[in-house]
Structure 1
Amino acid sequence: MRKRAALAVTVVVTAALGVPAAASAQPARCRLEPSAPTTLPALSATRLAAAVGDVPVAQGGLPDAEASGALAQIRGTAGCWQGTAGIGDVRTGGDVPQNGRFRIGSMTKVFTAAVALQLVAEGSLDLDGTVQQYLPGFLPADFPAITVRHVLTYTSGLNGIGVPHKTPAWFFEHRYDHWADGSQIDVTKPPSFTPGKYQRYGNVDYWMAGLLIQKVTGHSWEREVHDRIIEPLGLRGTTTPGDDPRIPGRYSHGYEATDAGWVDVSAANPSLQWSAAAIISTPQDLDRFMVALFSGRVVPPVQLDLMFTIPPGTTTYDGDQDDTNNPAAAYGMGLGAFQVGPLTVWGKTGDRPGYANAMGATRDLTRRLVFSVNTLHMGGDQPVRARQIIGAAFS
């Protein structure tokens, strides 16, 4: 299969499609059938394999024009499954490793929110305290009061610097640039709306959260995430890389499809993303983190409830003056609520060039999904492959 996969990659890069790599075998005691009574839809191995791309290319498998590879892992008492498909490394022809590392992108925000809420529980941060109080002089004097609550619920109205970091031309020129902590926040622009009035998802609030964590602890954001979450939970495949452009250990390479073929985009300095989107992790680690978080072993119950609470009466800011057409707000502190048919799944998506990922679970943890799709075109909408995996897992 490795030889066949390597041949397939060679054919893909020269403009045709070949046979995908086989999915990994199921782990011991991983059973498709539920281990406890459940009302969730039954898992279908055939449907899941097709969703992740572990079928011949001619039947919709990987690699294809959208993605080079994918992995998915489902856990919980409502059934267990895992699989991979496509090409993990063009150079060697290697498969996608089932528990390989990947850049988790904005799933980092859940880690940052958890650390901030631990500090709230400890009394080091006050949700109604202001950025101006904790970081005097950072924001211009004429800015309105922006609270920690505004920051963690994406309702501050603050603006980021706005570089096109998900476009190929910008990425290839700046992929190894260093960004100082907080330099990603544009303090020359006033908030786009009155803080607390709307919700606007983005990185800027979680860059600010990183600064607040550093200010009240006296330690780096990286150290606090490591000492409070990574080390206590034994997340051996999870790192906060700082300026290191490499992905350590085994991982599925990310590529960008260009006129000259696939270009490896796995290596990049993640300091631009920092406390909003820089972490590297694995499916097993992210599942362990979800279980610990949802179970109340990371954040105390009072603060944990805030992660599952969407600010009441808040709509999503869409930039126009007509509030009647605003979508409903969808995020608590760090976590988002996603409807899959009648089912509410709590979790977070994330993407970086070459990677589009998500982790999500039912609130009772009976079904949990972690997946990563190696996209071939950075910065687009959620890949069709990702939507197929979510649908096969939850509907």
Structure 2
Amino acid sequence: MRVPIAALVAAALVIGPATAAGAAAPGGGGRHRCTALADGTPLREALEGLPDEEASGALVLVTDAAGCRQGTAGVADVRTGRTVPIDGRFRIGSMTKTFTAVVALQLAAEGRLDLDQTVQHYLPDLLPAGTAPVTVRQVLTYTSGINHVEVPNKQADWFLAHRYDHWAKGSQIDTAKPLAFPPGTKQRYGNVDYIVAGLLIEKVTGRTWESQIQRRIIDRLGLRGTTAPGRDVEVRGPHAHGYEATASGWVDVTRADTSLQWSAASIISTAPDLDRFLVALFSGQLVPQPQLEEMFTVPAGVHLYDGNDDPADDEDAVYTAGLTKLELGPVTLWGKSGDRPGYNNGMAATRDLSARLIFSVNTLHMGGTEQPLRSQRIIMAALQEL
């Protein structure tokens, strides 16, 4: 049975962490020495049967008190029958936002970006005159009210016709519409805030967003399989291809220009790199403690934007600067989900890093409002093993 997107978002973050539940990576986040998922375990069984009608392949990496375990299933390339590599690259989608938040908070720690200063101060020509003041913190926590240009980018027909279109930085922002709500009063998840964050990073550094991701995170941590691709449409290095099932067969959707998603959802990475990233982030190696708290602080007194003024159906905000909070009884998990055509992924952990999960599923049907069943199975299996 499929789960509604709202539950999915929670699950992706929740399960991710739960699945990941585990001990810190060997050597405090060093290169992984993981064992294979044992036959008959919930996670191994969750990967069985691939490819199927929903997905062509999948990979999972979990770490908990029992150590690091990993596994893959399915096919990486239908032409050759090659299997999915555990260290394969994949398009991480909105997990990119966590990387962008890290750079923005590093700049805040350096005194170069004031979280309480306005976007209008740094980018005076971005928003129309008379727009209510929007702060940097509101951008990072999705509470700005700024609108995104609406395109059906997750519909197969549109994607296949426009997959190589290039969007100029900032052209994704719809400045013709008034703010969806007064800044700071609601929380609406989407890419637009993190497109603005990318522009802010470029403004205060005088360098490209891609170069800042490379220097401040990728090079610093030695993430060998992670790239901010810019105009490169390829996924370089070992990887599982992404496919879309059509009436005439599977269409390879791996290659694409990701400028529409840019600083919100364009990065390519691997499961070992993402685990290393989470360990470094949560342990304070990337962002100083005062700014790191922003990543574990949900805006107080704010509800998710639902387009109406009826308080009866309001839901509390769950997003922070770059992460999502999920509470499961006494356990609180922090993480991020993400998807692109051919890829549905998640990363999550407990704040003490005792449990961590990274997964990627090569979906065959882009878009939709529900979490892929295979992703749900992986998450639930991870929870069972904790």
Give the TM-score normalised by the residue count of structure 2.
0.89
2-side partners of 1:147 and 1:267: how far apart?
Answer: 36
Deviations 1:276-295 (CA, angstroms, capped at 9, x unpaired): 00000000100000000000
2-side partners of 1:45 and 1:31: how far apart?
Answer: 15
Match of 2:244 in 1: 256
Match of 2:44 in 1: 49
Match of 1:374 in 2: 362
Supply the AA of the counterpart residue of 1:30: C
> Is structure 2 residue 59 aligned with structure 1 residue 83?
no
Change beyond 3 A, Cα 1:44–1:140: farther
2-side partners of 1:326 and 1:45: how far apart?
Answer: 42
Match of 2:380 in 1: 391
**Equivalent of 2:185 in 189, 197, 204:** 197
Match of 2:154 in 1: 166
> What secondary structure is seen at the aligned counterpart in 2 of 1:302?
helix
1-side partners of 2:286 and 2:232: how far apart?
Answer: 27
Deviations 1:9-47 (CA, angstroms, capped at 9, x unpaired): xxxxxxxxxxxxxxxxxx9853699xxxxxxxxx99521
Match of 2:265 in 1: 277
Change beyond 3 A, Cα 1:29–1:139: closer
> Is structure 2 residue 151 aligned with structure 1 residue 151?
no
Deviations 1:259-304 (CA, angstroms, capped at 9, x unpaired): 0010000000011110000000000100000000000000000110
**Could you tell me whether the CA contact under 8 Å between 1:78 and 1:367 is conserved in 2?**
no
Match of 1:5 in 2: none
2-side partners of 1:266 and 1:342: how far apart?
Answer: 40
1-side partners of 2:65 and 2:56: how far apart?
Answer: 31
Give how far 1:340 is off.
4.7
Supply the AA of the counterpart residue of 1:237: G
Give how far 1:78 is off.
4.4
Match of 1:96 in 2: 84
Match of 1:234 in 2: 222
Match of 2:34 in 1: 30
2-side partners of 1:300 and 1:89: how far apart?
Answer: 42
2-side partners of 1:28 and 1:132: how far apart?
Answer: 44
Deviations 1:312-346 (CA, angstroms, capped at 9, x unpaired): 11110011121331211111100001245653221
Match of 2:16 in 1: none
Change beyond 3 A, Cα 1:332–1:177: same
> Is structure 2 residue 53 aligned with structure 1 residue 65?
yes
**Could you tell me whether the CA contact under 8 Å between 2:36 and 2:71 is conserved in 1?**
no
Deviations 1:166-213 (CA, angstroms, capped at 9, x unpaired): 001110110000111110000000110000001111000000000000
**Could you tell me whether the CA contact under 8 Å between 1:32 and 1:45 is conserved in 2?**
no
Change beyond 3 A, Cα 1:258–1:339: farther
Supply the AA of the counterpart residue of 2:261: Q
**Could you tell me whether the CA contact under 8 Å between 2:35 and 2:70 is conserved in 1?**
no
Change beyond 3 A, Cα 1:342–1:379: farther
> Is structure 2 residue 290 aligned with structure 1 residue 327?
no
Supply the AA of the counterpart residue of 2:217: I
Larger RCO, structures 1/2 (Cα 8 Å, 6+ apart): 2
Q: Which is worse superposed, 152-161 or 324-333?
A: 324-333
Change beyond 3 A, Cα 1:83–1:286: same
> What secondary structure is seen at the aligned counterpart in 2 of 1:115?
helix
Match of 1:23 in 2: none
Supply the AA of the counterpart residue of 1:174: H
**Could you tell me whether the CA contact under 8 Å between 1:70 and 1:373 is conserved in 2?**
yes
Q: Which is worse superposed, 252-261 or 73-82?
A: 73-82
**Equivalent of 1:349 in 337, 355, 367:** 337
Change beyond 3 A, Cα 1:139–1:87: same
> What secondary structure is seen at the aligned counterpart in 1 of 2:41?
helix
Q: Percentage identity across aligned positions?
A: 62
Structure with greater strand percent: 2
Paired residues in the alignment total 353
**Equivalent of 2:100 in 88, 96, 112:** 112
Give the TM-score normalised by the residue count of structure 1.
0.87
**Could you tell me whether the CA contact under 8 Å between 1:97 and 1:251 is conserved in 2?**
yes
2-side partners of 1:276 and 1:252: how far apart?
Answer: 22
Match of 1:24 in 2: none
> Is structure 2 residue 290 aligned with structure 1 residue 295?
no
Task: Write out aligned runs for 1:197-236 (5 A).
Answer: 197-236=185-224
Deviations 1:126-154 (CA, angstroms, capped at 9, x unpaired): 11100100001211002100000100000
> What secondary structure is seen at the aligned counterpart in 2 of 1:124?
coil
Q: Which is worse superposed, 76-85 or 280-289?
A: 76-85
Structure 1 stretches of 4+ with a deviation exceeding 6 A read none
Change beyond 3 A, Cα 1:29–1:251: closer
Match of 2:168 in 1: 180
> What secondary structure is seen at the aligned counterpart in 1 of 2:245?
strand
2-side partners of 1:338 and 1:28: how far apart?
Answer: 26
1-side partners of 2:32 and 2:167: how far apart?
Answer: 44
